[in-house]
Amino acid sequence: MPVTIKTPEEIEKMRIAGRLAADVLDMIRPYVKPGVTTEELNTLCHDYITNVQKAIPAPLNYRGFPKSICTSVNHVVCHGIPSNKQLKKGDIINIDITVIKDGYHGDTSKMFFVGEPSIIAKRVSQISYECMCIGIKMVKPGVHLGDIGYAIQTHAEANHFSIVREFCGHGIGRVFHEDPQILHYGTPNTGLRLETGMIFTIEPMVNVGKRHIKILPDQWTAVTKDHSLSAQWEHTVLVTENSFEVLTIRPGDNL
């Protein structure tokens, strides 16, 4: 499928969807505490998205995904399914929110700490955040996707961490996952060149150990093969005339 260039009207709808997704992450923060189950976090987000935002949680029934959000704890890389498992002190968790409003998607995720995490847990969360920011700040017309992937990969590996290759960022709009694929690794001067009006996510998954993953029998949950910790952050980004606009920015976010 071709890469879509969004019209001004579509961009305005994407701003609204992006803001709603970001708002869910702010809403859920006080509930991410020892003893809460990821199922309870799912219910809080689902009810907020449907009842307050009058929006649709995109993951629910997406290709058979059974819940409204993804909750990925510790060595879970992504696509963790909310369950009756309680969070405990020292856990790190990625909560990934995608909402559909007026036909358009907003997609964003962040890491939360449950109590005080280990130094290495804080470090992998911080480096994955920096990887995302490095990628976002490169966005402008004419830049090659390979340049962005290379910069993200270089930062993770310079810090002795690894980048997951099986999942990537993606174009987004009326469709949840559309072209282009935004790889978080790559080769400079290769790949698609960005154009004004493209919208896509940047969502690097960074592992403390090796990059390899496996999918659990539930067919969704991706975990590190070596059981090392993994962290991820995600924003939805618009290519503007000469730079970028983050559609899922939250108050107080410093890129």
**From residue 37 to residue 76, what is the string marking binding to Co ion with x (rule CB under 5 A)?**
----------------------------------------
Q: What one-character-per-residue DSSP string does the chain give?
A: -PPPPPPHHHHHHHHHHHHHHHHHHHHHGGG--TT-BHHHHHHHHHHIIIIIS--EETTTTGGG--SSSEEEETTEEE-PPP-SPBP-TT-EEEEEEEEEETTEEEEEEEEEESSS--HHHHHHHHHHHHHHHHHHHT-STT-BHHHHHHHHHHHHHHTT-EE--S--EEE-SSSSSEEEEE-SS--TT-SPBP-TT-EEEE--EEESS-S-EEE-TTSS-EEETT---EEE-BEEEEE-SSSEEETT--TT---
113 binds ligand MF3 (CB under 6 A): no
96 binds ligand MF3 (CB under 6 A): yes
CB atoms within 10 A of CB 115: 11
Considering CB distances under 5 to 8 angstroms, the limit depending on partner class, which of ligand MF3, Co ion, none binds residue 79?
Answer: ligand MF3
Token duo for residue 78? 């992504």
Q: Which of residues 223-252 bind Co ion (CB under 5 A)?
A: 234
Q: According to the annotation, is 177 in a ligand binding site?
A: yes
Considering CB distances under 5 to 8 angstroms, the limit depending on partner class, which of ligand MF3, Co ion, none binds residue 4?
Answer: none
Q: According to the annotation, is 234 in a ligand binding site?
A: yes
Size of the site for Co ion (CB under 5 A): 5
| The only residue of 74, 153, 201, 207 in contact with Co ion, by rule CB under 5 A | 201
- 244, 254 Cβ separation under 8 angstroms: no
Q: According to the annotation, is 102 in a ligand binding site?
A: no
231 binds ligand MF3 (CB under 6 A): no
CA distance 235 to 137: 12
| The only residue of 107, 130, 147, 178 in contact with Co ion, by rule CB under 5 A | 107
CB of 168 to Co ion, least distance (A): 9
| The only residue of 19, 22, 59, 131 in contact with ligand MF3, by rule CB under 6 A | 59
CB of 235 to ligand MF3, least distance (A): 10
Token duo for residue 63? 């290709």
117 binds ligand MF3 (CB under 6 A): no
Residue type, 156: A
CB of 172 to Co ion, least distance (A): 7
CB of 96 to Co ion, least distance (A): 4
- Point out the annotated binding site for a divalent metal cation: 96, 107, 170, 203, 234
Residues annotated as binding site?
Answer: 79, 96, 107, 170, 177, 203, 234
| Interface with ligand MF3 (CB under 6 A) | 59, 62-63, 65, 70, 79, 96, 98, 107, 201, 203, 234
